[in-house]
């Protein structure tokens, strides 16, 4: 029996999973607990205690802990996160209009400072007077700062100086763009940095909760976090760069899917409470997104698996359009707290509201909807507008009916803003409730699920008829809609990978093929590889989805904890890029990952760049938690021939270092 056991933890929007894994025995024990957003340690401890109890193992047998999470992804998909101050050095207001930066910024404050550098690292003088004037007030209005400097990837000096000033005055977390990416494209780097800053407090709370529980339990071992490309980084590094954990959960699930199924080629679809994540395995490796991960509609500079994330899951909002002759259902993209779950936590408060609404002669506008605080600490509610603060104070820790809470139409928009900040949950009808009514799920409160379904079923369509003849019919309509919408998002992801621009949701041909409509011309479609279904609810949804897509379903026995398995079987990887440019004839400048150096000889410059890239990649891999990393070097040299002689435009030296994470040895 192996003496080394690895503990994998995955914290999702609804559930926290834990597995104990041995490299000789595989999954030894697995367990789930509800994710407790107000105090993540409660959900983590519930899942971990359950696996320890199952395995009958002493904590001393655990030699490493690894964590994957969908919290960062969910926050960006749902538009949540802390309020961040953006500092742009050497940029102007027009630069906000590029790469979706203005849309991402929303109402968060931005300061423009003179300064920045050119492509060779030469500086424009930095002036921080505007920052100094704004900082004392701004520090009380935001929870973190993001800094983006012009050509900071070539010379990060101004970003570092601004960072030091902000820390000195505000003592708040600060993210610099050069710490996250070595790619050019200032506005997109600024966008990535802004999103990172918003996530800092959330990921810090998650890692802190996990570390606090482990310490109290006597588990004193290295702790790793899964990055968006499936590699592992140390918990300390994840705290500094939480943006790298976007798509952490999905990346871990891909690593887990490959490990659990042994399939080299597959479409992997992971359904959670909030999202469905779709990716392709080719030759045993996940495809990576060369342009950077897209999450919540924003293209970031984070290297991650080519994963497409859709707001569709077991806890997706059921939206009913009853204006046509026949009612239409749509799911997501927003996550609700299922009525069955809300009643499992607050039975009397939820059931009494739903029963009262069922007794009413006429249907209310907000039937089947309640609001409850998520339980986040008060300091994360900073910067609320007066009307937001007033509404927030009326919402407590026990769900309240929206018909009671909202006394005017504008308050609905105010409530939506509180939900977007992650301060409030809306409780309402979801596919999870429909599954309870159909007897395919049973972990929460069936009475509340049934009442929610009955309230929806009695809605009338344009012809004046109830939209469903029975609660069971209504529940099946919701589940059928989830099956169909899942097929559409899986097809959309696969067609995107093939370079096709067909929208499956709008294509009549796709509709005929999925519904197998008979006719003189018959349309059919099929995937060219198996569909791996992951997630706790995969066994109940994915056989029908695979059948509709004309392929076989591969649903591993550990489908519900694939993320947690992926968290412990991954490797640590680090990549460093160093540049050499020629600003004038005979002068070679080495930039990136450190101070600029000038050389009069090209080969000496190239040698220095190679040495710097390799040394820093190995150092980064060790910092990220690798025990004995090995490195590889790739070179890209742009030197076209001009009038018979080669002219260096730019040379890039890209070093990668990887290795297994450190574990505690006997």
Q: Which two tokens stand for residue 501?
A: 């621009």
Q: What is the pLDDT of residue 132?
A: 93
Residues 446 and 113: their CA atoms lie apart, in Å, by: 57
Tell which CATH classification among 1.25.40, 3.30.70, 3.40.50, 3.40.720 matches the domain 84-201.
3.40.50
Distance CA 524, CA 54 (A): 47
Q: CB atoms < 10 A from the CB of 572, how many? A: 26
- d(CA 343, CA 349) in angstroms, rounded, equals 8
Q: Tell me, rounded to whole angstroms, the distance of Cα 444 from its chain centroid.
A: 26
Q: Is the distance from CB of 146 to CB of 196 less than 8 angstroms?
A: yes
Residue 601's Cβ-side half-sphere holds a number of Cα atoms within 13 Å equal to: 4
Angle at CA 281, nearest 5°, toward 277 and 283?
170
Domain spanning 572-659: which CATH class is it, in words?
A: alpha beta
* Cis peptide upstream of residue 572 (ω within 30 degrees of 0): no
Residue 20's pLDDT is 93
Q: 421, 431 in Cβ contact below 8 A? A: no
Other Cβ atoms closer than 10 A to 544: 17
The pLDDT value given to residue 304: 79
Q: What is the pLDDT of residues 199-256, one digit of tens each?
A: 887 788 888 888 888 889 999 888 899 888 888 988 888 888 888 887 787 788 888 9
Locate 309 and state its tokens.
């994330």
What DSSP string runs through 47-85?
Answer: HHHHHHHHHT--GGGEEEEEEEESHHHHHHHTT----EE
Q: Distance of CA 386 to CAs 83, 285, 574, Å? A: 16, 51, 46
Q: Indicate the burial class of 660 (C-beta count within 10 angstroms; 0-12, 13-18, 19 or more).
A: middle
Torsion sign over Cα 140, 144, 149, 154 = positive
* 137-148 residue pLDDT tens: 998 888 889 999
Asked if 525 contacts 514 with a C-beta cutoff of 8 angstroms, the reply is yes
Q: Which phi-psi region, left, alpha or beta, contains residue 538 (left: φ > 0; alpha: ψ -120 to 50)?
A: alpha
DSSP, collapsed to helix, strand or coil, labels residue 476 as helix
Tokens at residue 227, please? 């990055």
| Whole-number pLDDT of residue 664 | 56
Q: ∠ CA(199), CA(200), CA(206), 5° rounding?
A: 90
Which residues have a Cβ under 8 Å from the Cβ of 241 and sit 6 or more positions away?
175, 179, 180, 196, 233
Q: For residues 201 and 143, is the Cβ–Cβ distance under 8 A?
A: yes
Nearest to 427 by CA among 349, 538, 526, 487: 349
Sort strands 645-646 and 110-113 into parallel, antiparallel or unpaired. Answer: unpaired
Q: Rounded distance, CA 483 to CA 316, Å?
A: 13
What's the CA gap between 567 and 66, in Å, rounded? Answer: 5
H-helix or E-strand spanning residue 131: helix 129-138
Collapsing DSSP states into helix, strand and coil, what is residue 661?
A: strand
Residue 3 corresponds to which tokens in the numbers above? 């003496």
603 vs 215: CA distance, rounded Å? 51
The answer to whether the pTM exceeds 0.85 is no
| Domain spans of the chain, in order of start | 84-201, 329-479, 572-659
* pLDDT for position 351: 98
Environment class of 194 (CB within 10 Å of its CB; exposed 0-12, middle 13-18, buried 19+):
buried
3-state secondary structure of 452: helix
No. of H helices and E strands in the chain?
20, 33
35: left (phi over 0), alpha (psi -120 to 50) or beta: beta
pLDDT averaged per 10 residues in sequence order, the chain, 666 residues: 76 85 88 81 89 89 88 71 88 88 87 89 89 91 90 88 92 85 83 85 82 89 87 86 80 88 94 89 81 74 81 94 85 94 97 97 92 85 89 95 93 93 94 96 96 95 88 97 96 92 93 93 94 92 95 93 87 88 89 83 94 93 88 90 81 90 63
Please report, for residues 43, 79, 406, the alpha-carbon distance to residue 419 in angstroms, rounded to integers and kept in the order given: 21, 9, 14
Within 10 angstroms of residue 650's Cβ, the number of other Cβ atoms is: 14
Give me the pLDDT at residue 666, please: 43
H-helix or E-strand spanning residue 583: strand 572-584
Provide the greatest CA pair distance for the chain: 88
Gap between the Cα atoms of 345 and 3, Å rounded: 39
Measured over the CA atoms of residue 509, residue 515, residue 521 and residue 526, the dihedral's sign is positive
Mean predicted lDDT score pLDDT of the chain: 89
Question: Can you state the percent helix, strand and coil of the chain, rounding each to 5?
Answer: 40, 25, 35
**Beta strands at 298-299 and 294-295: parallel, antiparallel or unpaired:** antiparallel
Please say whether the beta carbons of 634 and 646 come within 8 A.
no
State whether residue 129 is helix, strand or coil.
helix
Contacts of 605 (CB under 8 A, 6+ apart): 580, 588, 589, 590, 597, 599
Measure the N-to-C terminal CA separation of the chain; round to a whole number of Å.
14
pLDDT of the residue at 605: 94
Tell me what pLDDT residue 462 has.
82
d(CA 322, CA 461): 5
Per DSSP, the residues of 376-445 read --GGGGTT--HHHHHHHHH--SS-EEHHHH--STHHHHHHHHHHHTTSEEEEE--HHHHHHHTTS--SS-
Mode of pairing for the β-strands spanning 572-584 and 597-599: unpaired
Cβ atoms of 52 and 113 within 8 Å: the answer is no
Q: What is the rounded CA–CA span in Å between residue 100 and residue 187?
A: 8
User: Would you state the pLDDT for residue 1?
Assistant: 35
pLDDT at position 457: 94
Contact 371, 402 (CB under 8 A): yes
Q: pLDDT at position 160, please?
A: 92
Cβ atoms of residues 203 and 72 within 8 Å? yes
Cα Rg of the chain, angstroms: 26
In whole angstroms, what is the distance from residue 334 CA to residue 552 CA? Answer: 30
Say which residues have a Cβ less than 8 Å from residue 603's Cβ, sequence separation at least 6.
none
Confidence at residue 78, expressed as pLDDT on a 0 to 100 scale: 65
């Amino acid at each position: 029996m192996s003496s080394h056991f690895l503990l994998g933890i995955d914290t999702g929007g609804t559930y926290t999973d834990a597995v104990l894994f041995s490299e000789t025995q595989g999954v030894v024990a697995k367990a789930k607990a509800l994710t407790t957003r107000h105090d993540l340690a409660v959900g983590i401890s519930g899942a971990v205690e359950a696996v320890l109890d199952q395995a009958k193992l002493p904590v001393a047998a655990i030699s490493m802990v690894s964590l994957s999470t969908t919290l960062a992804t969910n926050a960006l998909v749902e538009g949540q996160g802390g309020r961040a101050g953006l500092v742009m050095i050497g940029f102007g207001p027009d630069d906000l209009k590029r790469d979706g930066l203005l849309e991402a910024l929303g109402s968060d404050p931005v300061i423009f400072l003179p300064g920045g550098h050119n492509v060779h690292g030469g500086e424009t003088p930095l002036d921080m007077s505007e920052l100094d004037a704004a900082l004392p007030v701004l520090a009380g209005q935001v929870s973190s700062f993001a800094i983006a400097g012009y050509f900071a990837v070539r010379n990060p000096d101004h970003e570092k100086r601004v960072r030091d000033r902000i820390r000195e005055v505000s003592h708040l977390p600060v993210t610099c763009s050069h710490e996250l990416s070595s790619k050019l494209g200032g506005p997109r780097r600024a966008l990535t940095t802004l999103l990172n800053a918003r996530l800092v407090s959330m990921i810090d709370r998650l890692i802190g909760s996990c570390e606090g529980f482990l310490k109290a339990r006597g588990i004193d071992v290295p702790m790793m976090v899964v990055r968006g490309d499936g590699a592992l980084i140390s918990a300390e590094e994840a705290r500094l760069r939480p943006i790298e954990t976007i798509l952490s959960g999905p990346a871990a699930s891909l690593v887990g899917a490959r490990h659990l199924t042994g399939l080299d080629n597959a479409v992997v679809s992971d359904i959670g409470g909030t999202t469905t994540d779709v990716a392709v395995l080719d030759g045993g490796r996940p495809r990576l997104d060369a342009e950077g991960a897209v999450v919540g509609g924003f293209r970031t500079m984070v290297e991650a698996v080519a994963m497409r994330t859709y707001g569709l899951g077991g806890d997706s909002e059921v939206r009913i359009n009853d204006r046509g002759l026949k009612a239409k259902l749509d799911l997501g993209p927003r996550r609700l707290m299922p009525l069955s779950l809300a009643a499992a936590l607050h039975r009397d408060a939820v059931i009494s509201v739903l029963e009262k609404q069922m007794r009413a002669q006429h249907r209310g506008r907000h039937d089947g909807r309640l609001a409850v605080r998520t339980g986040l600490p008060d300091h994360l509610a900073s910067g609320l507008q007066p009307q937001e603060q007033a509404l927030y104070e009326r919402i407590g820790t026990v769900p309240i009916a929206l018909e009671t809470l909202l006394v005017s139409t504008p308050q609905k928009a105010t409530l939506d803003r509180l939900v977007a900040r992650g301060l409030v949950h809306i409780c309402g009808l979801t596919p999870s409730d429909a599954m309870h009514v159909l007897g395919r799920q049973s972990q929460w409160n069936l009475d509340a699920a049934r009442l929610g379904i009955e309230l929806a079923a009695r809605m009338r369509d344009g012809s004046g008829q109830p939209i469903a003849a029975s609660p069971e019919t209504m529940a099946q309509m919701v589940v059928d809609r989830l099956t169909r919408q899942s097929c559409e998002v899986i097809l959309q992801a696969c067609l995107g990978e093939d370079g096709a621009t067909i929208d499956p949701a709008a294509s009549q041909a796709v509709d005929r093929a999925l519904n197998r409509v008979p006719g003189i011309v018959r349309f059919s479609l099929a995937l060219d590889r198996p569909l791996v279904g992951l997630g706790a609810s995969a066994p109940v949804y994915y056989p029908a989805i695979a059948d509709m897509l004309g392929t076989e379903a591969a649903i591993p026995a550990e489908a519900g904890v694939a993320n947690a398995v992926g968290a412990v079987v991954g490797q640590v990887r680090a990549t460093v890029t160093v540049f050499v440019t020629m600003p004038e004839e005979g002068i070679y400048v080495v930039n990136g990952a450190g101070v600029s150096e000038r050389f009069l000889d090209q080969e000496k410059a190239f040698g220095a760049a190679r040495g710097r890239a390799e040394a820093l990649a190995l150092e980064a891999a060790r910092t990220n938690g690798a025990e004995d990393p090995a490195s590889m070097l790739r070179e890209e040299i742009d030197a076209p021939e001009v009038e018979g002689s080669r002219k260096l435009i730019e040379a890039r030296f890209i070093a990668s270092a990887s290795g297994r994470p450190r574990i505690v040895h006997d």
